[in-house]
Amino acid sequence: MRNLSYLVAILIIVSCTQKNEVPKGVLPPEKMANILSEIYIAENKVSNIGLRHDSSKVVMRHYELKIFDDNNTTDSIYKESFAYYLENPTKLEAVYDIVIDSMSLKEQVIEANRKKALTKDKTAI
């Protein structure tokens, strides 16, 4: 009975200790955020083209493959990484904080460029 108590205690200790190590092959948060940002931008572009659903899926798949290639990764590594982050909500939240900051910054740059172009057009008249 005593051995069983020790075994149960060891199992509880082992199961309660959470590993903070990121498994090999999981994309770092910054890279994951960059890929997610690019995917969201691509989804927006595809949805604005006005294609039928099946055609837009094909176009989106080409965008995704290009994004993965540009980031030196594969869709399987991306999927494994996304699954890892889904299992670790605090780390996923950190990734999405980066995504939100990145998208906000891109939006500010676009708006600044738009205002600059309008000002330039008004002075040309």
Q: What is the SS3 assignment for 77-90?
A: HHHHHHHHHHHCHH
Decide: 37 and 95 in contact? Cβ < 8 Å: no
pLDDT tens, 68-118?
Answer: 999 999 999 999 999 999 999 999 999 999 999 999 998 999 999 998 888
Delimit the domains of the chain by residue range: 24-124
Q: Which amino acid is at 120?
A: K
Provide the phi-psi class of 18: left if phi over 0, else alpha when psi is between -120 and 50, else beta: beta
Rounded to two decimals, what is the model's pTM? 0.75
